[in-house]
Amino acid sequence: MIQAEQKNESNETIERLPLLTLFTTWRDNADKHLNNTVLNWMSLSPTVIPVIFTNDTSVADECSKNGFEVMPISVSAADGIPVLKFMYRDVMRRYNSTFYAYSNSDILFTDTLTDTLLQIMFNTTIDLSKPTLVVGQRTNVDSVTLTEAGNWYNITVTAKTRGKLFTGWAEDYFITPRAYPWRDIAKVVIGRRAYDNWLVYYSRKLNYTVIDATKTILAVHQTTKAGNHEGHTHKNKDYNHNLLVKMYQRIKYGAGETRCIENYIHYVNGTFTVSRRNNTGCAV
């Protein structure tokens, strides 16, 4: 009886919190459709707190006047790129929510993001007091217009008619509760290859709860002229790989693909379900 009362009190506390603090960073680049992302992420407010990390005054002003929270980049590497773990540290110090998520700034979401997180909270046995990581694949769409990004219905239709699900090697958002131990994570930077697959592999290796949400979270990537492998062409493209090899020598990046994640969420006859997959060949 006492345990049941404690659980009810915990659920009531969670319900009073914002659901998600969703953060990213941005460099002033007209080809990246900042207006689309700002419009889209603000459509998730107030359930979601949208945050931009930037030291660029023009980007900060543009996002702030449209409702974003603005935070400075406190720790960077590789010529000014934010270090992921410190972004989580900084938002968790300032904002209190059930989940925290870094996402690439060219990703558009719909209410499937918030619906999925609410389902995880209330309709599964997943213990959010333990380290949990939710990731998923993205759907690539070329040259998304402001009209297409304007509301969830348009985004959904655009993804179905013009989109293509991208490889499971690419993970563009990372959702965790406060219990995820970001303090222990290597000092990888965002926007450069290797950190996404390594993070999934690392979490699986430590037996954290890792969940593939590809089937329930629509994440639309606004593909531009830079293409779908932009992180492989940047200066310092191997920064994360070189850092991780120094620390761990050998890394099974393939074990960090979405297909290797043991748990996946989907709807079966309208019911939200967490299932286990047979991921033979994905040993960590």
Which residues does the chain have with pLDDT short of 50? 1-8, 10, 227-229, 231-232
pLDDT tens column, 199-234: 999 999 999 999 999 999 999 999 876 544 454 456
Q: Enter the pTM of the model.
A: 0.91
Residue 279 CB-density burial (10 A; 0-12 exposed, 13-18 middle, 19+ buried)? middle
User: What would the pLDDT profile of 86-102 be if each residue is shown by its tens digit?
Assistant: 999 999 999 999 999 99
Asked if 147 and 194 touch (Cβ cutoff 8 Å), the reply is no
Q: List, in order, residues 6 or more apart from 22 with CB less than 8 Å away.
A: 41, 44, 48, 49, 50, 51, 101, 103
* C-alpha closest to that of 93 among 61, 63, 71: 71
Half-sphere exposure of 109 (CA within 13 A, CB side): 30
Predicted confidence at residue 280, as pLDDT, reads: 77
pLDDT at 234: 66
Q: Can you tell me which residue has the tokens 């965002």?
A: 190
pLDDT at 5: 45
Quick count: other Cβ atoms within 10 Å of Cβ 172? Answer: 18
The reported pLDDT for the residue numbered 31 is: 54
**Rounded-to-integer distance, Cα 84 and Cα 242, Å:** 16
CB neighbourhood size of 1 (10 A): 5
What residue ranges define each of the domains in the chain, with the CATH number in brackets?
A: 2-276 (3.90.550)
78 Rama class: left (phi>0) / alpha (psi -120 to 50) / beta: left
